[in-house]
Amino acid sequence: MKDIPSLFSLCLRTITWNIMHGCGNSQDLFELPSVFLDGLLMILPPLALQNIYELHNELNLAWETLYKKRWPENLKTKHQLRGTEADHGIVTHESTCAIDWQQLYWEEHLQECLDAVTEQALLPSFDGNIAELEIPESIMGLIGHFGSGDCNCSKLSCHCSQFGCYVRCLRLQGVLCRDEVLNLLEESKLEALVLRRILSRRHVDGACKLIYQNRETLASIELVYCKLLPLDIDMICGSIYNKDIRYHGIQHFSIKSSNIFGSKSSIIPSGLSFFLSSGRSLHSVRFADVHMGQKSAVAIFEALIESPSGLASFEMSGNELEGWLSKVGNRYNHFSPVSEPHIALQSLVLLNLRGNNLNESDMSGLHHMLVNMPKLLSLDLSDNPIGDDGLRSLMPFFVKDLGKTSRATEIWLENCDLSGIGVSELLQSLAMMKGQLKTLSFAGNDLGSSVGPPLAEFLGKSLVQNLNIEDIGLGSFGFQELDRELTKEIALAHINISKNRGGVQAAHFISCIICRAPDIVSINGGSNLLPPESLSIIEDALRKSKGNKLEKIDLTGNTSLCSLNSEFIISQFMFQGNPIIILSSFDPYSAPHHDDDP
């Protein structure tokens, strides 16, 4: 038997229907007592709320509720991105303005609509007008529309026409870069545009039209999974300019996982070179996995040097650029900031050169460049075979130049073919550095147990907050040395010691961290061959360290910890309703069984 609707729900349904279909006088709603009106506004579906927003200005809270209910996962992502930007002094337009939840709601809604019709447009059998494609009923129901009838409001054209004016950030597949879609987005005032899979001249023409339509407001352009000829790049870069003004206002420019050079011997397209050198507002530039060769890398660097912008973030990653820095770095050997004050890279805050096959000879050239980047806070050289000799070339910068400032700094040296000797030298030098090192990672280097004592000394003297020593071959003896040498209170907030085959000694070290790091938030001790008694060792440390800030201890990959008893231990330690200790899923039927035979 169906539930009998309440009088309130029947009234709400009638009011909602009247608002959505323009019946009656919506202005009469605002004559209701505020206690009823406020409650009503908070439960109206989006389409109904949209129809009365012009009559009432105080609807932001209602839109915020609708947004958070529909996309709760977006909130955490936005917060994390803004936190990362703030850490490096990089501010976006979102972080400087009050949040307009109505704008965000319809922007995200229209993005879902576009993503849905993209799946239909990519079908081999499709050969129609994309603007006439139907929005799935599952999406329509979320905004309060049920039943299609004879109306056209479920077509993409209707949603673009009605909600396109709210779009500021847009992700668009190449298949949607058609006139019938772009004409519907003419009212948009795009600030950020992500173009994916631009593969043909028709896609390029559509992309250029969309960029030109929004050239006055666009601040960010990103190309992903594209295959473009030099002429295509020239057209895309040229579409951002006004007819009479030969500079642009783009702040963030990114190309990743794309082929834009044809071959590694190709030179940089002239339009891209001019775009980079004429960018007065360029704040971040990224070329990640774009099949770039040395010639193009040198040309890009030279173009940025000529740029009048105050570049804060530069990424050149995932390309085969062995020998590149040894060529361009030497020109700065005798560089003086006083004599050449306008070089753009002096403003760099973040430099990412991960995965470029750079070797030790490149590090000498890089050092000449780094000493002329006084604002640099984050350097990523991971996945480059620089070896100990390359690390030693950078040691003066790490120790002397970083030591001049107390600003937070990040150094990433993962999978760099480093040995325990080279890293021990670095740690001993960093331990004497006056500045604050916030993050240090040399994961994936085979360092061995000998790095234990210098690592303990470094932790005792430095203020490092985030340390990643995953898979460095510490072993049981390395953890034992760390535990024995670490006698002082340390500043760590996050540490990753996973994949080091530490056994029970790794558990003792985790216990040591819990007790000696009052600000510790997360510990990753996964895949360390921890024996069953490890959980009791960690449990004892948690009981002794009352009131610390621990949110998570990741012990996944240690299958011997999984037992019925472990569930009881886990349930005793919680953070905001979630268990602090994380284990691999336990299946009691997969656990080893023993018979009664002696």
Measured between alpha carbons, how far apart are the two ends of the chain, in Å?
61
- Per-residue 3-state assignment (H helix, E strand, C coil) for 449-508: HHHHHHHHHHHHHCCCCEEECCCCCCHHHHHHHHHHHCCCCCCCCEEECCCCCCHHHHHH
Question: Could you tell me the residue range of the domain that residue 538 belongs to?
Answer: 448-588
Q: Decide: 172 and 211 in contact? Cβ < 8 Å.
A: no
Tell whether the model's pLDDT for residue 594 goes beyond 70: no
The verdict on residue 538 lying in a domain is yes
The verdict on residue 487 lying in a domain is yes
The verdict on residue 285 lying in a domain is no
Q: What is d(CA 296, CA 385) in angstroms, rounded to the nearest whole number?
A: 21
The verdict on residue 370 lying in a domain is no
The verdict on residue 251 lying in a domain is no
Tens digits of residue pLDDT in 225-274 = 999 999 999 999 999 987 677 788 899 999 999 998 877 667 888 899 99
Stretch 204-226: mean pLDDT: 96
Instruction: Give the CATH number for residue 461.
Output: 3.80.10.10
Q: What is d(CA 111, CA 163) in angstroms, rounded to the nearest whole number?
A: 10
Higher pLDDT: 325 or 441? It is 441
Tens digits of residue pLDDT in 405-460 = 556 689 999 999 999 999 999 998 888 776 678 999 999 999 999 999 999 999 99
Give the number of other CB atoms < 10 A from CB of residue 499.
21
Q: Decide: 480 and 505 in contact? Cβ < 8 Å.
A: yes
Last residue of a domain, one of 16, 34, 69: 69
pLDDT of 294 reads 87
Strand partners, 192: 169, 220
Q: What is d(CA 364, CA 326) in angstroms, rounded to the nearest whole number?
A: 7
pLDDT of 82 reads 41
pLDDT of 50 reads 82
pLDDT bracket for residue 73 (50, 70, 90): confident
Stretch 28-46: mean pLDDT: 70
The verdict on residue 28 lying in a domain is yes
Q: What DSSP character marks residue 268?
A: P
Q: What is the mean pLDDT of the chain?
A: 85
Q: What is d(CA 328, CA 324) in angstroms, rounded to the nearest whole number?
A: 7
Phi, psi values for residue 19, rounded to 5°: -65, -45
Q: Is 394 left (phi over 0), alpha (psi -120 to 50) or beta?
A: alpha
Stretch 30-52: mean pLDDT: 73
Q: 108-133 burial, b for 16+ CB within 10 Å, e for fewer? A: bbbebbbebbbebbeeeeeeeebbeb
Which residue shows structure tokens 């490096």?
Answer: 88
pLDDT bracket for residue 345 (50, 70, 90): confident
Q: Which two tokens stand for residue 7?
A: 């009088």
In the chain, the number of structural domains is 2
Give the lowest-confidence range in 83-87, 209-213, 565-569: 83-87
pLDDT bracket for residue 508 (50, 70, 90): very high
The verdict on residue 508 lying in a domain is yes
How does DSSP assign 543-574, residue by residue?
HHSTT----EEE-TT-GGG-SHHHHHHHHT-E
Last residue of a domain, one of 69, 86, 121: 69
pLDDT of 326 reads 83
The verdict on residue 561 lying in a domain is yes
